[in-house]
Structure 1
Amino acid sequence: MATNRVIFLVFNSVHLLDLAGAVTVFYESGCCGKHYDIHYVSPSPNPQTSSGLGITNVDPLHSIHVEKEDIVILAGMEIAKWNRADDKLWIPWLQNAAAQGATICSICTAAFALAASGLLDGQNCTTHWAWTAALQKEYPHLKVIENKLFVQSGRIFTSAGIATGIDLALYLVEEQHGVAFACRVAKDMVVYIRRDGMEVQNSIYLQNRQHINHHIHQVQDYITKHLQHKLTLEELAELVFISPRNLTRLFKSATGVTIGQYIQLLRQEKAKHLLKEKYKLAWIAQECGYRSSAQIRKLLKEV
């Protein structure tokens, strides 16, 4: 039976985006027609985020009995403020969850918690690139894999953190409801695809967003959400109330590529991702904004 319950284990000094990114995926899944029952538990009665924001409506660990169909997600926390005095509270709870056969996931530095619980002993895993060496050094019996978005070992998943928690959550949604539905959720979140776990901790989408031009960000968001449609320069320019010529100049200056190149790179990356899932070429072509399956067959030779 497919699960509809996701339980977030929240440590004190949790990183807000590590938590919120994955939560939003399951929330948006509900908005798209596939509901998840989301719960939050913590060894702390009133956990604080690493940015100082307090969290309420968090249940005590003993109030939730984890079952096989559940998904348990540990959000990353600030390691320097991680209170190990709580180990006796959450480690037995987490070990019991794993013993029940639940899917266990960590985002970012929460891989350290999975390691401390013993659930990663001898397993492949990953974490944020800045912490892979420290994780391997502190827990030498693990097999820490660098520069991967997320790693699966049985029903245990570890992700690189920050935005990659979104990729992992989308993967879990896709497992249950299929790639077409996961793509719909991704579109609603304007992330355009679920990146594969074997991809490096970067993407075309992220590579070209390292700028601060609000108008160009707005155009990029529009492109990712409407990638399946024919996009014109005039349409994009009207969106941000500047001339097509000025938009062309600003886009290239901010991203390093032209608008046409950017659209093509996004379509290629998304198509190559969907090709790995063995879906019909006609559907992939439509989803990625290509005119025919012939263009997808050409890409197929490059995958």
Structure 2
Amino acid sequence: MSKVVFLLVPRVHLLDLAGPAQAFGTAADIGRGYELSYVAEREDVPTAQGLTVRASTDLPALTAGDLVVVPGWRSPMADGTASLSPATLSWLAGHHAAGATVVSVCAGADALGMAGLLDGRRCTTHHDVQDELARRYPRAVVIRDVLYVVDGRIATSAGIASGIDLALHLIAVRDGPDVAARVAREMVVYARRNGDELQANAMLRHRNHLSDLSHRAQDHIEARFAGPLPLADLAQDCGVSERTLTRRFADATGMTPLRYQQVLRVERAEHLIGHGATVEAAAHAVGFADARMLRRLRSRG
């Protein structure tokens, strides 16, 4: 059994809270070991949307297997209304120091910064406050305009709906991609959007299936799509034959592993070109020997 404790701050955004809570709650409903609870410095917590929620004021003792999630709140950095007490920040930092994971959604990253947990770490937050986060915590490495970032035992998301993506990622890491896909399906959301990509991408379109083998193969491909990835090596990594991998991957995604790798390369190249890279530079960055193959694949649509 793992505890998932949500630390609530006044004017918390409901979806920042409800999205991850629904994901972990759904995982608990299907038999995974999660126990959800909610804590705050005051029992009654007003939300940004006008609903008041109730939380415990007792900060629980936690183990290394437990999670603390800090949802975002309205105007967290501009007006200084969301400062947390030294005792709360010490509890948050102590939980991480004990070997556990701390998670933020949206501007909840500010709480992690106040606790000293962003120093020297990659992180992200909502695009409206990412500049302020970088200014307030200059030792943090703020990754801009991505869905979520995981740096060791610190995980931060861009906010609002991306908190669901981060929760599904954490469930996939702890319980397996098949469980995360089942949770996403129960929630009627797309499964497994990767943190460092745009929202409408191949990692979104081709992850809405329940094949654990294909999810594991996609994980391997996405981690190394810019380099050589022989089918024999991929099949060995997944513990199956090349024929089995190709058949089951195609059944789940509608394409071969090689074609999936090409789609990822082209999408990444398009992203680089859109940010000023030449076609030749983008082609080399994503693993093509020259721009001819990239041009050919782009012309296919």
Same fold (TM over 0.5): yes
The residue that corresponds to 1:276 in the other structure is: 222
For the residues of structure 1 that align with 2:30 and 2:248, how far apart are their CA atoms?
20
Residue 173 of structure 1 aligns to which amino acid in structure 2? I
Q: CA deviation at 1:33?
A: 2.7
The residue that corresponds to 1:69 in the other structure is: 65
Aligned residues: 238
Residue 56 (structure 2) aligned to one of 55, 59, 63: 59
> Secondary structure of 2:52's partner?
coil
In structure 2, the CA distance between the partners of 1:281 and 1:28, relative to structure 1 (3 Å rule), is farther
Residue 135 of structure 2 aligns to which amino acid in structure 1? K
Verify the 8 A CA contact 1:7 1:40 in the aligned structure 2: yes
Verify the 8 A CA contact 1:11 1:82 in the aligned structure 2: no
Residue 287 of structure 1 aligns to which amino acid in structure 2? A
In structure 2, the CA distance between the partners of 1:99 and 1:273, relative to structure 1 (3 Å rule), is closer
- Equivalent positions of 1:76-225 (< 5 A) are 76-78=72-74, 79=76, 80=78, 83-84=81-82, 86-200=84-198, 202-204=199-201
Residue 50 (structure 1) aligned to one of 26, 48, 51: 48
Verify the 8 A CA contact 2:118 2:137 in the aligned structure 1: no
Encode CA deviations 1:54-82: one digit per residue, 9 max, x unaligned: 102x11143x1121110111000111566
Compute the TM-score of the two structures, normalised by the length of structure 1.
0.70
In structure 2, the CA distance between the partners of 1:89 and 1:83, relative to structure 1 (3 Å rule), is farther
For the residues of structure 2 that align with 1:20 and 1:70, how far apart are their CA atoms?
18
The residue that corresponds to 1:255 in the other structure is: none
In structure 2, the CA distance between the partners of 1:132 and 1:141, relative to structure 1 (3 Å rule), is same
Compute the TM-score of the two structures, normalised by the length of structure 2.
0.71
For the residues of structure 1 that align with 2:218 and 2:148, how far apart are their CA atoms?
18
Verify the 8 A CA contact 1:26 1:35 in the aligned structure 2: no
Residue 160 of structure 1 aligns to which amino acid in structure 2? A
Residue 13 of structure 1 aligns to which amino acid in structure 2? R
Encode CA deviations 1:39-61: one digit per residue, 9 max, x unaligned: 111112211111110102x1114
Q: CA deviation at 1:103?
A: 0.6
For the residues of structure 1 that align with 2:32 and 2:13, how far apart are their CA atoms?
27
> Secondary structure of 2:68's partner?
strand
For the residues of structure 1 that align with 2:247 and 2:97, how far apart are their CA atoms?
43
Q: CA deviation at 1:191?
A: 1.6
Encode CA deviations 1:80-131: one digit per residue, 9 max, x unaligned: 5663554223111111111211110010001111111111112111101111
Mind listing any 5+ residue stretches in structure 1 that lack a counterpart? 209-223, 229-270
For the residues of structure 2 that align with 1:174 and 1:134, how far apart are their CA atoms?
31
In structure 2, the CA distance between the partners of 1:177 and 1:87, relative to structure 1 (3 Å rule), is same
The residue that corresponds to 1:237 in the other structure is: none
Mind listing any 5+ residue stretches in structure 2 that lack a counterpart? 211-216, 224-233, 239-244, 265-301
Encode CA deviations 1:247-271: one digit per residue, 9 max, x unaligned: xxxxxxxxxxxxxxxxxxxxxxxx9
Q: CA deviation at 1:160?
A: 0.5
